């Protein structure tokens, strides 16, 4: 077997506000696995590095890719414990190759077009008018669960947005999640949680910055809103460390980004450990291209999920790849008639092997 990788810059249709600033483009990396006797047939995966968020980003990243490439040729395993994006990219490429190089990673009722995955509508960061317009658009599209990023604009404006929504839609009609991305601190987090309480929120993700387990545990204990850990999980890659974190903080939920949380195998370990402790969970994508997004959606469909997931829709980028995923209202669907995924779209990438 052989492996190759190709860096690729995804370009946003419009500047996108995230907790890591305004993004115009995002670097990712495609991975392919093939038999050297038949290189035209290959499995494709995505190592979705997230600069500024991924712990693995840095000078050693391409060295680890080269090490993995060499080990695949030699038939040796590579320790990717601290390189979750490479782990998931390699997992995807192997699954695709094993499935006939068709873009089929986890065959199921979802990939046969018989089932769908319900997702939340995400309202990106922006000024008040922008967020209001995006929120109304999500509701008009039929989303019954909407997540808003908070902590980026004036908090009073964010409260006004939530108040407007609740005046029109009850908690029974529309589920609201908020994601603070660590925006609050010891001086304002408890007042913020109290101000948010009347809006009957499903949860608040990462109210304070990661890396403060004692403080986060206290926030979880006193918060009137269920707390979900997100960035807190990134870089915690060994089972004993995952167990320790969950027991020390005891959150209501964990939010899993497979590209940042150990790939499919590492995320399944998080799910098992959380479930053993009666901690809820859901899965979120992390600005992957359609390659990684399709694989993650297929995997999620096999997990027996019963709540809206945080998956993207593949509509953010001008230079995305083709995909069998389709959005129908709040449901992410798979169109089997769009298989096999066109391999020609990967032909002219800067493959390194």
Catalytic residues: 149, 257
As a whole number of angstroms, the distance between CA 321 and CA 121 comes to 22
As a whole number of angstroms, the distance between CA 181 and CA 19 comes to 6
- Other Cβ atoms within 10 Å of 272 Cβ, number: 11
Cβ(321)–Cβ(290) under 8 Å? Answer: yes
Q: What is the DSSP string of 28-93?
A: EEEEEEE-TT-TTSEEEEEE---TTT-TT-STHHHHHHHHHHHHHHHT-----TT-HHHHHHHHHH
Q: How many H helices and E strands in the chain? A: 9, 13
Cβ(84)–Cβ(109) under 8 Å? Answer: no
As a whole number of angstroms, the distance between CA 95 and CA 45 comes to 9
Burial class (CB in 10 A: 0-12, 13-18, 19+), 177: buried
Phi, psi of 33 (to 5 degrees): -120, 135
Categorise residue 278: left if φ over 0, alpha if ψ from -120 to 50, beta otherwise.
left
Please, what's the b/e burial string for 274-312 (b: 16 or more CB within 10 A of its CB; e: otherwise)?
Answer: beeeebebbbbbbbbbbbbbbbbbbbbbebeeeebbbbb
Cβ(143)–Cβ(150) under 8 Å? Answer: no
């Amino acid at each position: 077997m052989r492996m190759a990788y190709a860096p690729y810059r995804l370009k946003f249709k419009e500047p996108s506000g995230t907790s890591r600033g305004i993004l115009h483009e995002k670097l990712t990396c495609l991975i392919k696995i093939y038999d050297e006797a038949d290189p035209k047939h290959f499995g494709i995966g995505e190592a979705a590095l997230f600069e500024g968020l991924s712990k693995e980003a840095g000078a050693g990243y391409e060295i680890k890719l080269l090490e993995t490439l060499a080990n695949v040729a030699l038939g040796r395993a590579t320790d990717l414990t601290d390189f979750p994006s490479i782990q998931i990219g390699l997992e995807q490429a192997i699954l695709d190759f094993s499935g006939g190089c068709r873009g089929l990673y986890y065959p199921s009722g979802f990939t046969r077009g018989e089932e769908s995955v319900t997702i939340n509508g995400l309202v990106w960061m922006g000024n008040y008018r922008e967020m209001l317009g995006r929120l109304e658009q999500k509701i008009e599209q039929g989303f019954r669960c909407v997540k808003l990023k908070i902590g980026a604009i004036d908090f009073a404006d964010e409260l006004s947005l939530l108040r407007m929504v609740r005046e029109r839609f009850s908690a029974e009609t529309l589920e609201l999640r908020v994601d603070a991305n660590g925006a609050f601190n010891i001086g304002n987090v408890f007042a913020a949680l109290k101000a948010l309480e009347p809006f009957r929120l499903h949860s608040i993700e990462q109210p304070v910055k990661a890396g403060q387990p004692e403080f986060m545990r206290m926030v979880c204990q006193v918060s009137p809103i269920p707390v979900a850990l997100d960035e807190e999980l990134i870089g915690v890659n060994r089972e004993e460390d995952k167990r320790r974190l969950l027991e020390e903080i005891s959150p209501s939920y964990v939010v899993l980004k497979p590209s940042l949380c150990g790939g499919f195998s590492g995320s399944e370990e998080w799910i098992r450990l959380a479930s053993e402790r009666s901690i809820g969970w859901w899965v979120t994508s992390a600005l992957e291209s359609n390659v990684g997004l399709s694989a993650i959606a297929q995997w999620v469909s096999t997990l027996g999920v019963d709540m809206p997931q945080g998956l993207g829709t593949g509509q953010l980028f001008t230079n995305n790849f083709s995909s069998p995923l389709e959005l129908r209202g709040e449901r992410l669907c798979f169109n089997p008639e769009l298989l096999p995924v066109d391999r020609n779209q990967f032909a002219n990438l800067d493959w390194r092997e």
